[in-house]
Amino acid sequence: MGLGGMAMCPVNARVSHWWALIVAAVCLALWGGPARAASPLRYEIYMVQKGDTVENIAARFGVEAVLIRTVNGLKPGQALSPGQSLAVVLPGLKKTEAAERPSASEPPPQPKEVPPHYAVTAAGCRITESCGGDAVLFEPPAGSRVIVSKEQGDWWGILMADGSVGWTPKSSLRLTDEAVSAEAIGKMLRQAGRADVVEYAKRFLGTPYKYGGRLPYNTDCSLFVQTVFRAFGVRLPRTARAQAKVGRPVPLDQMLPGDRLYFADRKGRVNHTGIYIGNLQFIHASSAAGRVTISSLGSRRYWSRLYCVRR
């Protein structure tokens, strides 16, 4: 039986390793004692690839490196050659071990609440909509502080600004001892309320438009949206194209005030953004108007270019 991604040698090569299997049976009896000797014997004939070592082969198969050396008559430190065949002996599971291993039909572990604590993100941290999912909600820079509120297996649940939970591998965070009170969480969620986002955004009405702008003097569309959401603890990338990849996608019939809108050009490239304020209106830094203004999403100019909505 082969392992995915591992090169196996042809059947005639296995014949030359029967001697290794006989030695292996003896080794297993000595190595694992009576319990392992009674287990069914399984083996693989592995063809050495460039860069392989006994240690990394052993790690892939989940066996001891010294057992591979003993079975194949290798001396400690002896280098391997590409194309060389090795017998890798795998002791079978004992009945008690097989019974303890979860079956494929068993459901995954359920999320559980944990006392909220601050955590610090590592480089490459990605917060997704579900454990192992592809829908990325946010990619915080290394060193960002987030709040851990749930746990599921090897994943931490991160409290998002809208009260939902995103997920990231535990290896992506360094958990601190700093607890977060329910009052602090409640205040954070209230501050991130969509009505407050809209009201804050309206403070910028009339600000002159300038590509690559510099607030408070002038602004472009993505700087405007980035600045508004930063005030509520939500860190967004600088460009509209990058921002459009962050957050939870929202169906058009479920848009709410405070959702972010992204528009694309005729080639499908995201090049504009704004904030929905309700009643098919949105606020944005418009190059056409030359300032931060309110426009109708129902107009052909914008509705035909609407690329996605994020929350």
Encode the chain (311 residues) as per-residue pLDDT tens digits.
333 333 333 334 444 444 455 455 545 444 444 444 443 445 567 778 888 888 888 777 777 787 788 777 788 878 888 888 777 766 544 434 444 444 455 666 788 999 999 999 999 898 888 888 877 777 888 888 889 999 999 999 998 766 778 899 999 999 999 998 888 777 666 554 477 889 999 999 999 999 999 999 999 999 999 999 988 878 899 999 999 999 888 888 888 899 999 999 999 999 999 999 988 899 999 999 999 999 999 898 999 999 999 98
Residue 44: the pLDDT is 67
Active site residues: 221, 272, 284
C-beta neighbour count of 12 within 10 angstroms: 7
Residue with tokens 């290798």: 74
The whole-number pLDDT of residue 162 equals 63
309 contacts 260 by C-beta, under 8 angstroms: yes
H/E stretch holding 16 reads none
Tally Cβ neighbours within 10 Å of residue 53.
12
Write down all domains in the chain, each with its CATH number in brackets.
Answer: 11-100 (3.10.350.10), 112-189 (2.30.30.40), 193-310 (3.90.1720.10)
CA distance 161 to 311: 10
Its pTM stands at 0.45
Half-sphere exposure of residue 159, counting CA atoms within 13 Å on the CB side?
A: 23
Sheet containing strand 270-278, edge to edge, reads 291-296, 281-286, 270-278, 260-264, 306-310
End-to-end CA distance of the chain: 48
Give me the pLDDT at residue 105, please: 55
Distance, in Å, from the CA atom of 113 to the CA atom of 127, rounded to the nearest integer, reads 18
Can you give the pLDDT at residue 269?
Answer: 95
Strand-pair category, 136-138 with 127-128: antiparallel
